[in-house]
Amino acid sequence: MRKLVTGLAVTGLLFAGSVATAGTANAAQPGATCSEYTTSEPLLRSNSTGAAVQALQCELNLSINPNQGYRLDKDGVFGQATLSAVYKFQSCVGLTVDGEVGPQTWAKLDYWSNAAGWAC
């Protein structure tokens, strides 16, 4: 009985610890989601526009620590600020730094925008 109680207590502490730390990466935007813009993930590059760029900007905001200075307006325009944030993100996650947002960059963004931590 003592082992069962001890096991339950340890499990409870582990669970409580994971609940207490869940979502700390994006504490500035708890429960934030970028799917409100689109679930489409097309190839994007400088001068692209539209809902997919808004989703990109949203995911970059959730993946790069705001203290890094890459906070983006979600205006749907892939301009210089978005390009700089893409370069920073690609560099941080070990991708080829080309400024194009294709399947590999989208996959890393999908991961880091939902992770308990910042990519950069």
Q: At what angle do helices 80-92 and 51-63 cross, to 10 degrees?
A: 50
Torsion of CA 55, 58, 59, 60, to 10 degrees: 120
Q: How far apart are CA 44 and CA 25, in angstroms?
A: 26
Q: What is the pLDDT of residue 6?
A: 40
Q: What is the pLDDT of residue 111?
A: 96
Quick one: 2-112 is in which CATH superfamily? PGBD-like superfamily/PGBD (1.10.101.10)
Q: Where are the domains of the chain?
A: 2-112
- pTM here is 0.74
How does pLDDT run along the chain (120 residues), one tens digit per residue? 434 334 444 344 333 333 333 333 444 455 568 989 888 899 999 999 999 999 999 999 999 999 999 999 999 999 999 999 999 999 999 999 999 999 999 999 999 999 999 999
Q: What is the pLDDT of residue 39?
A: 86
Among 65, 62, 70, CA closest to 86:
70
Q: Is residue 35 classed exposed, middle or buried when 0-12, 13-18 and 19+ CB atoms within 10 A define those classes?
A: exposed
